[in-house]
Amino acid sequence: MNDAVSSAPTPAKPSNLNVPNILTSIRILAIPLFAWLVLRSEGQHMSWMLWSLGCFVALMITDKLDGDIARAKNLVTDFGKIADPIADKALISTALICLNINGSLPVWVTIVILVREIGITIWRMFELRKGNVVPASKGGKLKTVLQTIAVTLFLIPPAHIFHYPALVVMLIAVVVTTVTGCQYIVDSMKLKKTVTGE
């Protein structure tokens, strides 16, 4: 009986070539198109703002879909754990930079968020080289939701109607972004102490 149990085959890891990872890759590849649409709108041309809004919403829907499909079909991969948050960061960062160029968003907001995102991404890369996969935390997911809402509000035409609500949500997102960034640093230090036995 025990021999039968012990000889049971280990479940194979899902292939990286699956629907969730393809959706994530499409999201990354579509970012230049989104950037072009936002810049073309110049933060004031209604038709181009609608196109950029539609593109952004579509890309965020793929973000929701790839996660749901991966969990439902047991297609979670290390590639997905790394690529999905990177895709989110790339899309949001691109949106923020374009909003800066259009004059819709203060530059310092983008600087704070980008410093945090780049720092955490580099840390994730180092941990991955050590064999440690660091998925997005709950706080990190909240940060992404707030940033997504803010960007969406900035893109809704006419721009002046939702400008101040968008700024308020974005400022809250900056606070959450900073706090979660600090939490990642604390967790990194705890992980290092655990590994080294200090």
Please name which of 165, 155, 173 lies closest in space to residue 56, comparing C-alpha atoms. Answer: 155
Residue 36 has a pLDDT of: 97
Q: How many CB atoms lie within 10 A of CB 145?
A: 14
| 16, pLDDT greater than 80 | no
For the chain, the structural domain boundaries read: 17-196
Instruction: Residues 17-196: name the CATH superfamily.
Output: CDP-alcohol phosphotransferase transmembrane (TM) domain (1.20.120.1760)
Model confidence at 71, in pLDDT bands (50, 70, 90)? confident
Please name which of 174, 185, 179, 186 lies closest in space to residue 92, comparing C-alpha atoms. Answer: 174
CA dihedral of 65, 58, 95, 174, whole degrees rounded to 10: -50
Q: Is 99 exposed, middle or buried (0-12, 13-18, 19+ CB in 10 A)?
A: buried
pLDDT in tens, 22-47: 889 999 999 999 999 999 998 888 99
The span from the CA of 108 to the CA of 99, in Å, is: 12
